[in-house]
Structure 1
């Protein structure tokens, strides 16, 4: 939209002089002028003509003088740039005008060459200010959309630097992480809505804070679950290590949160977590109508199925060998070679553990028992029986003992 200039002056011949001086710009449409005889008419004109970007105002006028008009214009959220043009060119009026927010001050009789240069300068200033406001508004809208997915710092960086093109569809190596609360659907039926709302707010506030601390991206919430991504939109060579650390931190938080809920009489289920690393197609798939940062591909599907496998295994965190290979400090107990739905080859999976658990005697005993299981040795059954005898609450040892007692052998698992 082209900007117009509003001339506010009760001098009868000024309109003709202005139009004569700027006739070329008026004729070619590069300048538009509106005219008012006092401050009251000027306010009406500004309200009725959104194209007005500059006001040239006399001081001494009937009904409302120029300084009062200037102050009224400054009250707007985006005030119009005002140049005072007055025969009262003493320092008192100049200072009063500038202190009230005038962009410039010209004296009468008008030097039209000076007026033309001042109008051009003021219009450039207004155009730059409007462009800055447009960019700022776009950045704020972008930040509001990005804040749903990314940490506050990354969302602000992407929005402020205009890096939305970084979010276009691209294939990246990522680690995908899914979470889900066991038995949540049944819980919904037994808990009052206000209590459930408070519970979920506390749960998601805590979990998303942990995700952002580890540099993860929240792809979307699925009721009581989350899909998280590491390695996009920015490069994260250590994305698997970040995801492993995040999964362990999430498990610790969720267990503490469950314990707190139990004290309040709410039987919140375990948070199950699945992780897998590999290539995925990531980007904004909103089609231009809305922002929808998403990820697609086998890596994403596999992570979701590993999360679901925890239900069968009794574990909290199930991670693939691809994650273990990419995370230098990975610690875990092998679960087996899973035949997951949608995959033609088995996938070695692990129960993710804190590093300090790896050297503990029960973990070492499990590793020996699993080696015997994978090799098909008969000693696997008594080895797992001993593990369960020492720790009846060990879900993974129980899982393999049941398999062996039912006549199954080896480490290959068919997981629904």
Structure 2
């Protein structure tokens, strides 16, 4: 590193003397020297040469003295390390200089061995500050990248520590949430760009905040679609419980959001949510230049298929039996055995319910009708018909009734 030093002094012979004393360091590329005759000239030089590393300034100079220059330097965003030179015994000015932020001081007449030692000490200080700033900038860049995926607390910890444990690609047991919005393509085509931008920013921001509240990791945001992981990158023993709770809160927030925008004349669709748990390949797939923490595997694909299944089922949240089994105190009702697109084996699914709806009489009535349907009992059809008659706003019950009326039997169903 070549250290650039600005000497500020009005003595006419000082420049030649300094250049002579430091000729070897200048020749070897260790030092680059600049000179100014007073504080005003020094400020002009610094404005044109912001790369200057340190300033060595006399106190008594015309137009602007060294103490005034020091005050100006301390006001700058990037403060220059400054050595103040004063007459021997002028402790009052030296004390003022140190109080104003001078790094060190020298007395006149200058002892050049002392000057060289002080300069080397200051250079080490400058290098240390530069290293700290660089690491801080890197941490801020890392934090900005990590904040796209992780909750603020986790992003701050990862950025500050630089730890890679859990960030590297690895197989992990995870729970994953997929969300999507019905009719979003039509909205994109019809809404003014400024409205669409405001709407989508508010929606994605709100959904992401909820995911972070549950300490989920947001791995993808593609337009209106959001993917959230639990148990990655850190361990969360209750990851299935977190996923279900997060899905409930996402649903509540999205419904309120949709209602707010409908009141403003914007038709915002329903948010559909799919949740599944299992092994997935998780980590940063962006290489060294682009941070892209995401997940791949059958577990991820199933969650996406469950999200899409809501469209036919009439539900807003659909979770796999794996999640329902792993989540603490899961409350919900069975949907059936779904033959999802691209899969040869059926997947048992559930609709999670909030506490009040789970304890409502119609949920028990639904469970009884579903048990009859699972057993192949012909009484399933009138049981669902009675349920729909009393609760026409139950789309899942209506879905099963329509299946039975069309001749379907049992709880296994093929979804497109």
Fold shared per TM-score above 0.5: yes
The CA RMSD over aligned residues, in Å, is: 2.6
1:227 corresponds to: 227
Q: Which moved more, 1:7-16 or 1:144-153?
A: 7-16
Q: Which moved more, 1:221-230 or 1:4-13?
A: 4-13
SS of structure 2 residue aligned to 1:299: helix
CA distance in 2, matches of 1:28, 1:191: 66
Contact 2:357 2:363 in 1 (8 A): yes
In structure 2, list runs of 5 or more residues that go unmatched: none
After superposition, the Cα gap between the structure-2 partners of 1:64 and 1:38, relative to the gap in structure 1 and judged at 3 Å, is farther
2:334 is aligned with 1:334:
yes
How many angstroms does 1:21 deviate by? Answer: 5.5
TM-score normalised according to structure 1 size: 0.90
Deviation string for 1:36-91 (max 9, x for gaps)?
A: 15135544554555553222222234565433433343343212211012226412
1:309 corresponds to: 309
Contact 2:82 2:104 in 1 (8 A): yes
How many angstroms does 1:394 deviate by? Answer: 1.4
Contact 2:4 2:34 in 1 (8 A): no
1:129 corresponds to: 129
2:367 is aligned with 1:367:
yes
Contact 1:2 1:51 in 2 (8 A): no
SS of structure 2 residue aligned to 1:167: coil
2:347 corresponds to: 347
Q: Which moved more, 1:115-124 or 1:1-10?
A: 1-10
2:4 corresponds to: 4
How many angstroms does 1:188 deviate by? Answer: 3.7
SS of structure 1 residue aligned to 2:53: strand
2:244 corresponds to: 244
1:380 corresponds to: 380
How many angstroms does 1:306 deviate by? Answer: 0.4
After superposition, the Cα gap between the structure-2 partners of 1:62 and 1:194, relative to the gap in structure 1 and judged at 3 Å, is closer
Contact 2:3 2:32 in 1 (8 A): no
CA distance in 2, matches of 1:135, 1:165: 19
After superposition, the Cα gap between the structure-2 partners of 1:165 and 1:122, relative to the gap in structure 1 and judged at 3 Å, is farther
TM-score normalised according to structure 2 size: 0.90
How many angstroms does 1:349 deviate by? Answer: 0.8
In structure 1, list runs of 5 or more residues that go unmatched: none
Contact 1:330 1:355 in 2 (8 A): no
1:268 corresponds to: 268
CA distance in 2, matches of 1:264, 1:72: 53
Contact 1:177 1:227 in 2 (8 A): yes
CA distance in 1, matches of 2:13, 2:116: 18
After superposition, the Cα gap between the structure-2 partners of 1:399 and 1:75, relative to the gap in structure 1 and judged at 3 Å, is same
2:283 is aligned with 1:258:
no
| Number of residue-to-residue matches in the alignment | 415
After superposition, the Cα gap between the structure-2 partners of 1:228 and 1:54, relative to the gap in structure 1 and judged at 3 Å, is same
1:78 corresponds to: 78
1:203 corresponds to: 203
Question: 1:271-290 alignment to 2 at 5 Å?
Answer: 271-290=271-290
SS of structure 1 residue aligned to 2:328: coil
SS of structure 1 residue aligned to 2:286: coil
Deviation string for 1:96-148 (max 9, x for gaps)?
A: 32233311111112234433332222122211111111111112222222222
Contact 2:166 2:232 in 1 (8 A): no
Question: 1:92-111 alignment to 2 at 5 Å?
Answer: 92-111=92-111
Q: Which moved more, 1:122-131 or 1:152-161?
A: 152-161
How many angstroms does 1:225 deviate by? Answer: 2.4
